[in-house]
Chain A
Amino acid sequence: MGQYSSEEYPHIQDPPLKEPSGTPPEEKQDSSGPSERNIEKLGQLTIPSPDNEIFTLTIIGQIEGHLILPPQNKTTKYEHVIPQLVAVEQNSHIKGALIILNTVGGDVEAGLAIAEMVNTLSKPTVSLVLGGGHSIGVPISISCQKSYIVPTATMTIHPIRLAGQIIGIYQFFEYLDKMQDRVIEFVSKNSKMSREKYKELMFNTSQLGRDIGTVLVGQEAVDLGLIDAVGGLWDAVNTLKELIKANDGE
């Protein structure tokens, strides 16, 4: 990390940081080491250097939806991640994407949007669940061609509901049920877990104190067919490189 210059990123256009003259009074300059500070602040990684053909996307904290969350939340911003994934698809220098997750979930629609984008990327994708990949992190982690989980990582599977609110009318129950169905549908389509099994885990009453649901730790997620394998960074990167090689060979 350090000072970035346009020479280091020949495939990216020059930083468009000079505004055209004559318009509003501000002018901005790239400050030194922006990326370092960025990681510190938001936990979002950016772009591979030219010799690195792997794009790394980190899904951290809350996945932010249509509302900006208060600043004590670490967030993954979908309005930035989605165009990034479009750029990854279009950029010929990027051969594959590594998705690293340590998330507590978040907005259903934003999470599903990211999952669908990753799922339909034409380039090889590998995910690695570290720490936690809870709730809406589950669809994102299984959206890749190959998914890994470290032995100590956990995934919480629970029903979608609005904390503290009582479902008063039938229509509202239907609405939440439909939303939940979208998640279940995506999971059953993209992993080895069946609809019925996922629902069963969702409504398990024997595991969580304050909620219903299931916590899967490392190997358990693999045994139940949700994640492909237990592994670490090396496994994920190595698999991605192999997939890239196979993709190039075609």
Chain B
Amino acid sequence: MVLYTPLPLEIILKGSEEKKGHYLQIPYQGGTLEVELISASRARIVRLYSNNINDYLHPGLQPGTEIQLQWRRN
């Protein structure tokens, strides 16, 4: 990866060695949501994988959106 930016690299990469949070992949119809757990019941969307391009325009599925998780017994 080559970064092309006037910002010093040490500022950009500061903290990149730190431990990352917990990530989950949650299936939903037609695609997968990658989320980062904030607490046991809340998560933040990190990434969306979908074959339906309109999903990428959906405001509720943008990266950074917080979602509520509900745990269910199978």
Contact = CB atoms under 8 A, between A and B. Distances in A.
Contact of B3 (A18, A108, A158): A108
Contacts of B31: 16
A29 interface: yes
Q: Which 5 A-B pairs have the closest CB atoms?
A: A105-B5, A163-B9, A42-B64, A70-B15, A41-B64
Contacts of B72: 25-27
A12 B27 contact: no
Contacts of A160: 2, 4
Question: Interface size class for chain B?
Answer: 35 or more
A71 B14 CA distance: 9
Interface string A63-81: 0011101111100010110
Interface residues of A, number: 70
10 contacts: A24-B27, A28-B26, A28-B68, A30-B60, A30-B67, A34-B66, A47-B59, A62-B12, A106-B4, A211-B6
Interface stretch (A82-90, A122-130, A143-151, A235-243): A82-90
Given A35-B59, A38-B64, A42-B64, A65 B1 contact: yes
A9 B8 CA distance: 42
Interface of A: 4, 9, 11-13, 15-20, 22-31, 34-35, 37-38, 41-42, 44, 46-47, 62, 65-67, 69-73, 77, 79-80, 83-84, 86-88, 90-91, 104-109, 111, 134-136, 156, 158, 160, 162-164, 176, 179, 183, 211, 213
Contacts of B55: 13, 16
A11 B55 CA distance: 11
Given A13-B55, A30-B67, A44-B62, A108 B4 contact: yes
Contacts of A163: 3, 8-10
B2 A28 contact: no
Nearest to B13: A70
Nearest to A93: B57
Interface of B: 1-10, 12-16, 18, 24, 26-31, 33, 35, 43-44, 47-48, 50, 52-74
Name A's interface SS. Answer: loop
A26 B71 contact: yes
A26 B64 CA distance: 18
A106 B66 contact: no
Contact of A135 (B6, B56, B70): B6
A37 B66 CA distance: 8
A46 B69 CA distance: 23
B73 to A, nearest CB: 7
